[in-house]
A and B are shown apart, each in its own frame.
Chain A
Amino acid sequence: MGRIVGIDLGTTNSLVAYTDSQTGQPKCISGPYGDTLCPSVVSLDPDGSIIVGEAARRRLLTQPERTIYSVKRLMGRGPADVQGELKLFPFRIDPTSKNVIRVMLGDKIFTPPEISAFILRELKNWAEAFFGETVDRAVITVPAYFDDAQRQATKDAGKIAGLEVLRLVNEPTAAALAYGLHEKQRGKVAVYDLGGGTFDISVLKLISTSDGDIYQVLSTNGDTHLGGDDIDNLLQAFVHELIVQHDEFDFPPHGELVQELRKALIDVKHQLSNTETATLRFKLPSGSVIIHEFTRGALEKLIRPIMDRTMGPVKQALADAQLKPTDIDEVVLVGGTTRTPLIRRTVQEFFDRKPHTELNPDEVVALGAAVQANILDRGVKNMLLLDVTPLSLGIETYGGAVAKIIPRNSTIPASAQELYTTGVDNQTGIDVHVLQGERELAKDCRSLARFTLRVPPAPAGLPRIEVKFLIDANGILQVAAKDLRTGEGHSIEVQPSYGINDSEIERMLEESIEYAEQDFAERQLIEARTESESILAATAKALANPQVAALSAEEGAKIATGVAALKDATAGSDYKLIRKRTDELNHATEHLAELLMNSAVSTALEGRKLAEV
């Protein structure tokens, strides 16, 4: 068995973390560029290979038609669900999509779980490069308010990426786990989690028992389509209007220009978390430049409605836990969007308590996932997580009404039994429609699945089929039926309303392996060797230059040792060692590089590496 990791599959960024077996502390793993954040962006190169992360994010500007971001918003959704979003996001949806959305990158078509799988595979590669071992199992986090279809889609993504998903953990719960370990908190905790695309609020009770610590979620609420993306959309709409007035320029809704503007606006937004004013400078194709100074006040006015939208779920979660704001002992802020001063202020005022922000809000969810991964893997027996289902489970009854059979905020796993019989003689099928949501009518709830119980012809009321609905520890529904007259299991084929079936997942898994880039370590080795060869060549060339005479004997000897050591390393296959020796040689040749430079430019290029001269 390979290694196990915790993964935060975010709307904007994704991260992978593990628990250090020596210290017992969770840590995020860095990618090849040294950053722990992997932008959740996927691009299909014209040569057919898949590019993920920072490199893909840069392609948003140059190849927007082949690049997708914020795919989490499409997970477990049908085409009709996302019509509103398509106006603001440049996603190109395959017009023939039925229950599962299909997105076009260039001329290829992918489902959201396939695209998420590319991101997961990239993180898996990061972790494998870090451990030097395979990674085959993961705990993946999801927004607490994700419904069954969104959870199933996330689990499918894991499978397609070649990972066994041991558990889906709710993001705010993961954050609480990370904080609990860090702060040793006790009592009632509210976790306010506003990320790139989703908002969650969870209320937990931390209990110390003689067996260990229990993290019991009392209630959860949220909005799976509310986050930093919405702030960006508002800013964008605001500036579009400005441009129309200023320039009478009809701004195209898609393409490079929008991506460029979006990036500029996100920079402005980030700046305003630290400064009172920030200036947008944006050049239009006409050549004229939009200059607009934003104040923090103006941004806050724009954000206020989004902030207000989070307060409804906050109040509902407290009411469901039968608590008042002042009953909460600790408040935790999670998600990059909670860096916004307005949000910090408002949350603090509401709970009358300074929120915790000690852990990096971008990393805390991944860290919690790593804690849970460690619990599951090593059977750590001093910590237990009891989570809840965010939405009530119901079945459609007469007249399109919904009978709730598992109420929201029930601790999971949770189950309910329903008895079915026939209404007319010789009826051979009983239709069952399963839904999730709080509304009273089926048409207002989320359809999860439909199935038909097949029964042999008999007088009305004689067949007795018991159906068991079970929500597992991942928050995913399982259905089983039993014929009470024979006592035998009753096979049913559940057609998920928004899911992909198992054979499709199998096919996607195979395709994804084909798409997968070369083995990560191998790629690293090739890159390291290329770099090493270029510096070796540059050094050889420089040493042939008469200027070398100015080097001290000591410097000359250092360079000679460095060259020999790098040649040795390059002959081997340890890319980390090659990188190290490359850096060392770079360092040893700094003076040589300076000497070789024309004195006029040497000041400007100070600190350049030899290979760059």
Chain B
Amino acid sequence: MTSSKTADYFAIFALPRKLWIEMSALEQKFLQLSWKLHPDNFVNAPEQERELSLKRSSELNDAYRTLRDPVARVEYLLGIEGARKEGEHKQQALPELLEEVFELNESLDELRDTRASGGDLAALKLRLESAERNFQEKLGEVDTELQSAAREWDAALDGETAMRNKIKARLNELLNRRSYIRNLVTNVQKELF
């Protein structure tokens, strides 16, 4: 590997740092660049070129994988905009959800205990399923908010720095919230199945 300096994923696709991306155009560009960069084209080339093809095509694939996924895209954007540092996205509990999370954890404990003692799980499962629906709904709400913040970002692309920083902070907060709720849903699903 020649250099670990990684190109900006938006730049690889010649895109502005906007959060709305037209998917079919992204795919077309991805396939077009794959033709050029893929290591298959460089099997008989000198080692330096082979290494470069490996580096460039892996970056292309990393970029496509990231930009294709709306959440990963926001996360990446905030990273290169310096608004989200690696390792910082530790999940912080959300005060407004405290009560519901407390209840959820109790139900989960109860489910495990009942399962261990071989008791009847039906009622508990119903309660957890309704909790799962509740959190899924909240996840949907966060996603809607993320979309609207993303539109604000795109509109403010050439706007004032203060404004842009405010949107970045908002996106960051929404991502943390999403990741926290997402985790709750996963935990419930793991116990239910």
Which A residues form the contact surface with B (CB < 8 A)?
166-167, 207, 209, 211-212, 214, 216, 375-377, 379, 381, 384-386, 407, 410-417, 419, 466, 468, 470-473, 478, 480, 482
Query: In the complex, which residue of chain B has the Cβ closest to the Cβ of A472?
Result: B54
Q: Is the CB of B61 within 8 A of A412?
A: yes
Chain A residues closer than 8 Å to B41, beta-carbon distance:
379, 381
Q: List 30 A-B contacts (CB under 8 A).
A: A209-B31, A209-B32, A211-B31, A211-B35, A212-B35, A214-B34, A216-B31, A377-B43, A377-B44, A384-B34, A384-B35, A384-B38, A385-B40, A410-B65, A411-B61, A411-B65, A413-B54, A413-B61, A414-B62, A468-B1, A468-B4, A470-B1, A470-B58, A472-B39, A472-B54, A473-B38, A473-B40, A478-B1, A480-B1, A482-B4
Of B54, B62, B64, the most chain A CB neighbours within 10 A belong to B62
Interface string of B14-37 (1 = CB under 8 A from A): 000000000000000001101100
Interface centre among B34, B40, B41, B86 (most CB of A within 10 A): B40
Interface size on B, residues (CB 8 A): 22
Whether B176 is near chain A, meaning CB under 8 Å from some CB there, is no
User: Judging by beta carbons under 8 Å apart, are B61 and A410 in contact?
Assistant: yes
How far in angstroms is the closest Cβ of chain B from A47? 40
A229–B6 Cα distance when bound, in Å, is 46
Q: Is the CB–CB distance between B58 and A415 below 8 Å?
A: yes
A-B pairs with beta carbons under 8 A, tally = 73
B residues in contact with A384, CB < 8 Å: 34-35, 38, 40
- Across the interface, which residues of A come within 8 angstroms of B40, CB to CB? 167, 375-376, 384-385, 473
When the two chains form the complex, which single residue of A211, A407, A470 contacts B32, counting CB atoms closer than 8 Å?
A211
A317 to B85, CA, bound (A): 33
Q: Is B31 in contact with A214, judged by CB distance below 8 angstroms?
A: yes
With a cutoff of 8 Å between Cβ atoms, the chain B residues found around residue A214 in the complex are 31, 34
Q: Which residue of B1, B4, B34, B44 contacts A386 across the interface (Cβ within 8 Å)?
A: B34
B43 touches which of A166, A209, A417 (Cβ 8 Å) = A166
Which residue of chain A lies nearest to B27 when distances are taken between CB atoms in the complex? A207
Q: How long is the Cα–Cα vector from A412 to B35 in the complex, in angstroms?
A: 14
Please give me the residue from chain A that is nearest to B53 by CB atom: A413
Residues 39-72 (chain B) with a chain A CB within 8 angstroms: 39-41, 43-44, 54, 57-59, 61-62, 64-65
Q: Considering residues B31, B61, B65, which has the most beta carbons from chain A within 10 angstroms of its beta carbon? A: B61
Q: Least Cβ distance of A393 to chain B in Å?
A: 12
20 more A-B residue pairs beyond the given contacts A211-B32, A386-B38, A466-B4, with a C-beta to C-beta distance below 8 A: A214-B34, A376-B40, A377-B43, A377-B44, A381-B35, A410-B61, A411-B64, A412-B58, A413-B39, A414-B58, A414-B61, A415-B58, A415-B62, A416-B62, A468-B4, A471-B58, A472-B39, A473-B39, A473-B40, A478-B1
Q: Report the bound CA distance from A478 to B54 in whole Å.
A: 11
A95 to B31, CA, bound (A): 51
Closest-CB distance, A215 to chain B (whole angstroms)? 11
Q: In chain B, what residue has the closest Cβ to A421?
A: B87
Please provide the 6 A-B residue pairs with the shortest distance between their CB atoms, ordered closest to farther: A413-B58, A415-B58, A411-B61, A376-B43, A480-B1, A473-B39
Task: Give the chain A neighbours of B57 by CB distance below 8 A.
Answer: 413, 473
User: Distance in Å from the Cβ of B26 to the closest Cβ of chain A?
Assistant: 13
A386 to chain B, nearest CB (A): 6
Residues of B within 8 A of A416 (CB): 62
- Tell me, in angstroms, the Cα distance from A209 to B54 when the chains sit together: 23
Q: Which residue of chain A has its CB nearest to the CB of B36?
A: A211
Minimum distance in angstroms from A375 CB to a CB of chain B: 6
Chain A residues in 8 Å Cβ range of B61: 410-414
Which residues of chain A come closer than 8 Å to B4, judged between CB atoms?
417, 466, 468, 480, 482
Distance of A480 Cα from B1 Cα, bound (Å)? 7
Instruction: Specify which of B6, B34, B35, B64 is in contact with A417 (CB 8 Å cutoff).
Output: B6
